[in-house]
Structure 1
Amino acid sequence: MASGGGAGPSRPQRQLSMGPRNLSRAITMRTEGFSGEEEESELVPSSLAPIVPILRAANAIEDDNPRVAYLCQYTYK
C-alpha cells in the first residue's frame, strides 16, 4: 500500500498564460455640442497607440470621404 501523504494526489498548478492586457485609451474631444467633458471613443492596444491620430482622422473624414477613411483604418491590418 502506497502512502498518499494524506492530501491525495498532487495536481499540477495551473498557470494563467494570459497576462494583463496593455491597452491605451484614446480620448477625443467633441467640437460640436461641447459639454466640457471628454468622451472616451476608442480603446486600442498599446501597440497601436502610434497610429491613433490616423484612426481619429479616419473617423473625422468618414462622412465626407468614406474611401479615404477606409484606407486609413485598414492600412495597418
Structure 2
Amino acid sequence: MGQDDNHWCELGFAEPAVAFKGPTQTARSVTEAWMALHGFCPACAADRLPQLPNNAPVADFRCGDCGEEYELKAKQGKLGGS
C-alpha cells in the first residue's frame, strides 16, 4: 500500500489562502473546498458530495446518488455546553 492510498484521512487544508474581508468568509471558502474534495454521503456512502450553487436556500451539498442534502456549518470556539 503506497503513501498516496489513504487520501480520505487528509485533515489539513491544501487550498491556498484567499484574501477575503473577514475570517468568516475565509473559513467558509476553505471548508467548502475541503468538503467538495473529501466529503462523502453518510446516508448512502457515496464517495462525493457535489456542491450546490452559492446561496442555495437550504443546503450546500447534495448527494448525486440518494439526493440527501447537507448544510456545512462552522463555529468559532468550543462546541457543546460550558
The TM-score, its normalising length taken from structure 2, stands at: 0.28
Higher relative contact order (CA 8 A, sep 6+): 1
Normalising by structure 1, we get a TM-score of: 0.30
Bigger proportion of residues as strand: 1
Task: Give the number of the structure whose alpha-carbon radius of gyration is greater.
Answer: 1
Higher helix share: 1
